[in-house]
Amino acid sequence: MSDVTIRDIRVILTEPDGIRLVIVKVETSEPGLYGVGCATFTQRPLPVKVAVEKYLRPFLIGRNVADIEDIWQSSYVSSYWRNGGVLNNALSGVDQALWDIKGKMAGMPVYDLLGGRAREAAAVYVHASGREPAEVADKVSAFIDEGFHHVRVQVDTPGYATYGTKGLDKSTESARGSSGGPRNVTTWKKELTPGKRYAHPPGIFEPKPYMNSALGLFDLVRSQCGWDFEMLHDVHERIPPIDGVWFAKEVEQYRLFFLEDLFSPEDQEYFRIVRQQCSTPIAMGELWNNPHEVIPMVKDRLIDFIRVHISQMGGITPCRKIAAMGEMFGVRTAWHGPGDTSPVGHAANLMLDLNAWNFGIQEYAIFGERTREVFPGCPEVLDGHMWPNGKPGLGIDVDEELAAKFPHSKWEFGGAWNEIRRADGSIVRP
């Protein structure tokens, strides 16, 4: 049994390409042996840092690094109240780093520690978005030419805020604050010119116009790009449940690979109604952080793809169990992998993607050049697949000196999630 112990745990905050990333580094009693893990919670990075350094660090120093399961279980209940984005991300950073260490000690990639590979590489999907359907279709064609077979499509709804079309949840540039963060609705109210009519100020969302524009997009993309690639779409949980039932039935004709986040976690019983009325494949889970939210959805086969964010759920340790449960019920994995998953998080995703027989698809965010420099060993994508580099552990590192050159910027309103409202002023849940 290994006698290597945890010597120190540190948090690295960096923002090389405009997204606030949180990395945990676990150092050991063995000189030069350490591991890194992703604990990125872009909207609340500082509470995660405090949770790691002020609570997990003193709790875990001196523990044997080999005891990942015991460390996870004891840390999970150490706060008494558990689950939630802050505590789970803090725990994930430590957990991923410990798997990284174990792989380095064994001289194996983490997927080998989990039982080996079920595939050579993991198929990924990329994002095609634009102001007009034709623009989106052109991007889809370009991605297909590059070798991608799975593409998520999103298009602006003219005059309204639309999710996923510009890397920002707003329909115009005026919806942004000067620091790059989201604006508060009160701000644009103060800026309105007296006597001038505003049809739909930035940040206003309405379900019917959104659904109509999305259906028009699907029709054009299928007409222009054909049926031999897999098309995906994200509703992002913001339409009334009964509208979601109708929408899932309408998109059935376009044979999506999956329709994502059709309902919010509060409304997920509506998936039972969808199952009774159509066969549109459903992906769900990025807002889940409690395994008890996952279990009924999987065991009753109400979803087709488990869509959880690995660091939001607590790391590799719980997610490998969730993947195994999905296999028993024919539910595939589709781990959340947007730009606010750090390259370390993407490396952790890849370890599970390669090991799990019931892998479905992996979301991929194309790394910026500065991000690739800060994180040597970023997973490589070729011909629409993410490939492992075969290095021990997670196969990735962080250049701390370079990371320090890109500190977290100060975001307006602390970096709060974009405030989207209905035309009557009521808030829309993401």
Tell me the per-residue pLDDT of 24-46, one tens digit each, with 9 for 90 and over.
999 999 999 999 999 999 999 99
Residue 410 lies in a domain: no
Strand partners, 154: 129
For residue 172, the enclosing domain spans: 122-393
Catalytic residues: 163, 236
Residue 303 lies in a domain: yes
Tell me the per-residue pLDDT of 56-76, one tens digit each, with 9 for 90 and over.
999 999 999 999 999 999 999
Residue 199 pLDDT exceeds 60: no
Chain-centre distance for alpha carbon 352: 15
Helices of type H across 226-304: 241-251, 271-277, 291-299
Mean pLDDT of 195-221: 80
Lowest-confidence segment of 14-28, 158-172, 216-230 by average pLDDT:
158-172
Q: What is the pairing mode between strands 305-306 and 332-333?
A: parallel
Residue 103 lies in a domain: no
- Res. 429 pLDDT band, cuts 50 70 90: confident
Mean pLDDT of 199-220: 86
- Res. 428 pLDDT band, cuts 50 70 90: confident
Which pLDDT score is estimated for 386?
98
Alpha-carbon span 334 to 369, nearest angstrom: 25
CATH number of the domain bearing residue 357 = 3.20.20.120
| Percent of the residues in the chain that have a pLDDT greater than 90, as a whole number | 80
Residue 344 pLDDT exceeds 70: yes
Mean pLDDT of 285-305: 94
Which pLDDT score is estimated for 256?
98
Residue 350 lies in a domain: yes
Q: Considering only residues 426 and 356, tell me which one the structure prediction assigns the higher pLDDT.
A: 356
Q: One-letter amino acid identity for 413? A: F
Nearest to 68 by CA among 312, 315, 306: 315
Residue 140 lies in a domain: yes
Tokens of 87: 């505590």
Which pLDDT score is estimated for 295?
95
Tokens of 18: 């405009």
Sequence-distant (6+) residues with CB within 8 A of 226 are: none
Residue 288 pLDDT exceeds 80: yes
Which pLDDT score is estimated for 159?
85
**Could you give the number of structural domains in the chain?**
1
Residue 171 pLDDT exceeds 50: no
Mean pLDDT of 1-6: 84
Which pLDDT score is estimated for 191?
52
Residue 244 lies in a domain: yes
- Res. 166 pLDDT band, cuts 50 70 90: low
Mean pLDDT of 379-393: 97
Tokens of 129: 């978005």
What is the reported pTM?
0.90
Residue 116 lies in a domain: no
Residue 243 pLDDT exceeds 90: yes
Assess contact for 161 and 216: CB atoms under 8 A: no
- Averaged pLDDT of the chain: 90
Assess contact for 286 and 303: CB atoms under 8 A: no
Nearest to 352 by CA among 92, 85, 5: 92
- Res. 176 pLDDT band, cuts 50 70 90: very low
Chain-centre distance for alpha carbon 148: 19
Residue 115 lies in a domain: no
- Res. 184 pLDDT band, cuts 50 70 90: very low
Mean pLDDT of 128-142: 97
Nearest to 27 by CA among 2, 73, 51, 62: 62
Residue 183 pLDDT exceeds 50: no
